[in-house]
Structure 1
Amino acid sequence: MNKPIKSGWYVLYVRSRHEKKVEKLLKENQIKAYLPLIKTIRKWSDRTKTVELPLFPSYVFVYINSSMDFYKTLSIEGTGACIRFGSDYAIVKENEIKKIKLLTSTEEITNIEKKLDMPKVGEIKTIEQGPLCGLECEIVKTNNENKIVVRIDSIQQNITATIPSYYLSSSLCVN
């Protein structure tokens, strides 16, 4: 017997390098979709270029309201399946989507990368200034830079970014 579909952000696995196309097709079909993109510098022998790449390759986040949305989503060209952990679909919490959006939307945060392994060292702090105010993160100190690690528990991923040190020094949220 099938379980009823819950409303929420599902993780859609898509064909390799089809993330942007799938997101566009989902939106054209009135399905709320989110593809977190990060800017990276790519070097070739003759040029250097800044390109936008998916933070999570082959993943697109989709907000599903009903069974109809679920089946409509899976019928889009380039989609594979919704990610599962055991028998349950991976549903990302709204606050985790907000964390990802905050990390990928501001120019002051650089060197964004994701990691599968959970960090072992560092301290847990709350960012007290800037667009990430109130975000709880783990600090990793390397080469006099403050690197934060934001855990997205529902899909077992970590996002790492470098933030200005003054974001951690103030006690008031200033946006």
Structure 2
Amino acid sequence: MKPPSWYLLQCKPRQDERAELNLHQQNYQTFRPQFATERLVRGKPQSTLESLFPGYLFIQLSHEDNWAPLRSTRGVSRIVDFNRGPATVPDEVIERLRTRCLLPKQVQAFKPGDALQIIDGPLSSLEGIFLSMDGEERVMILLQLLSRKQPVVVPVRHVEAVTAQ
């Protein structure tokens, strides 16, 4: 019995996510490399995930698996093949993609009073004290500005906890 291999599926236009969801519901193991990007939505920057290979996703199958449902799965167009057979993708390629894909930075659980440093933007390199979250993507920190303490709201991705040295 051969171990399962990775194969490449072509999806219908703009249906990568739909194909992935439907394959998961059928208990297939898939991998769709994604990267974080920022887009303007209604004039405001918003973090989103985009496919690294739009229109394609990887699926892990063995020769004993039932391949027939793949043809009728919503969102799936076909199995990519070369030389009259499905194209296998080496496990090393999948592992390298998994380690290199940029996933959204997990929001750190800051506690009131934590020391934070701004690492990006016009206030970069300033340090302040975490006050609270301001929505899901912003933090309110207390900065020493112009000889007094000022509460400032910055994107959470622009701050990091100050580590004791």
Residue 44 to residue 24, structure 1, CA distance change in 2 (3 Å):
closer
* Residue type of the alignment partner of 2:15: H
Alignment of 1:116-135 (within 5 A): none
Residues 57 and 94 of structure 1: CA distance in aligned 2, closer, same or farther (over 3 Å): same
Cα contact 2:5–2:90 (8 A) shared by 1: yes
Count the aligned residue pairs.
104
RMSD: 2.4
Runs of 4+ off more than 3 Å: 105-108
Are 1:26 and 2:30 counterparts?
A: no
Report % sequence identity: 19
Match of 1:145 in 2: none
User: Do the aligned residues in 1 keep the contact of 2:34 with 2:49 (CA within 8 Å)?
Assistant: yes
* TM-score for both structures, normalised by structure 2: 0.56
Where does the alignment leave 5 or more consecutive residues of structure 1 unmatched? 109-175
From 28, 51, 55, the equivalent of 2:52 is 55
Q: Tell me, in whole angstroms, the C-alpha distance in 2 between the residues paired with 1:30 and 1:45.
A: 37
- Residue of structure 2 in register with 1:87 after alignment: 84
SS in 2 for 1:89: coil
Partners of 1:37 and 1:48 in 2: how far apart? 19
Q: CA–CA distance in 2 between the matches of 1:91 and 1:73?
A: 16
- The residue type equivalent to 2:21 in the other structure is K
Structure with larger Rg: 2
Per-residue deviation at 1:62?
0.5
Give the conservation status (yes or no) of the 8 Å contact 2:34–2:103: no
Measured against aligned partners, the alpha-carbon deviations of 1:71-127 in whole angstroms (never above 9, x if no partner) come to 12222111111112232322111111000000015679xxxxxxxxxxxxxxxxxxx
Question: Deviation at 1:42?
Answer: 1.4
Correspondence for 1:99 = 96
Residues 78 and 53 from structure 1, CA distance in 2 versus in 1: closer, same or farther, beyond 3 angstroms?
same
Partner of 1:146: none
Q: Relative to total residues, which structure has the larger helix share, 1 or 2?
A: 1
2:34 is aligned with 1:37: yes
Instruction: Decide which of 34, 37, 43 is 1:46's aligned counterpart.
Output: 43
TM-score, normalising length from structure 1?
0.53
Q: Which moved more, 1:16-25 or 1:84-93?
A: 84-93
User: In structure 1, how many angstroms separate the alpha carbons of the residues matched to 2:23 and 2:94?
Assistant: 17
1:30 and 1:106, CA in 2 relative to 1: closer, same or farther beyond 3 A?
closer
Distance 1:45 1:30, change over 3 A: closer
